[in-house]
Amino acid sequence: MTEERNTRRLEEFLKAYADGDTDRLGAMLADDAVWHVGGTHPFSGDYRGKDSILAYFDTVGDETGGTLRLDPIEMLANDRRGALFLRVTAMRGDRQLDVTMAEAFQFDQDGRIVEFWAHTTDQDAVNQFWREEISHG
């Protein structure tokens, strides 16, 4: 039962992310959640706390002009943890991103995400895509 519930939570998370729905995303994150973003680009690092994570989502959404898409390949979960394998595509100015990610989620007892970490098929491509800010004409 909890497996289905947390798999459904991952689906809902992706849907809310696609809709850019901060309220729904916020409701799925624990207040003290930690979001680890790998790589060596300006957005790499640890985002601590729900507000900080939501601000990060907003920033990358703005930077990509709403083109960032997360297409799940496979979603797995039990009552404590989840795994998401997905294709990430986005445009940023004339830069294009198209990579696969493996993402790990940890849930609290209420089914909210408390920790997230991930790695990609192509870290260099991700670093290049997010390297220094570009102007938005």
Partner 1 sequence: MGENSERLAEAMGAISRGEIERFGDILLADDVLWHWPGQSAVSGDYHGRSAALALLEGFHTLTGNRLQVEPLDILEGERHLMSFTHVTADKEGDHLDVIMADAMRFGDDGRVVEFWTLSNDQEAVDAFIGRG
Q: Using the rule CB under 8 A, is 74 a contact of partner 1?
A: yes
In sequence order, what are the beta bridge partners of 102?
A: 85, 119
List, in sequence order, every beta strand (DSSP E) within 1-137: 29-37, 45-48, 69-77, 81-92, 95-107, 113-120
In the block, tokens 């998401």 appear at: 84
* Residues 6+ positions from 38 with CB-CB distance below 8 Å: 44, 117, 118, 119, 120, 123
Q: Using the rule CB under 8 A, is 112 a contact of partner 1?
A: no
What's the closest the beta carbon of residue 84 comes to partner 1, in angstroms? 9
Q: Using the rule CB under 8 A, is 64 a contact of partner 1?
A: no
Q: Using the rule CB under 8 A, is 85 a contact of partner 1?
A: yes
Q: Stretches 20-28, 35-43, 51-59, 63-71: which one binds partner 1 (CB under 8 A)?
A: 35-43
Residues that bind partner 1 (CB under 8 A): 34, 36, 38, 40, 73-78, 80-83, 85, 102, 104, 106, 115, 117-121, 123
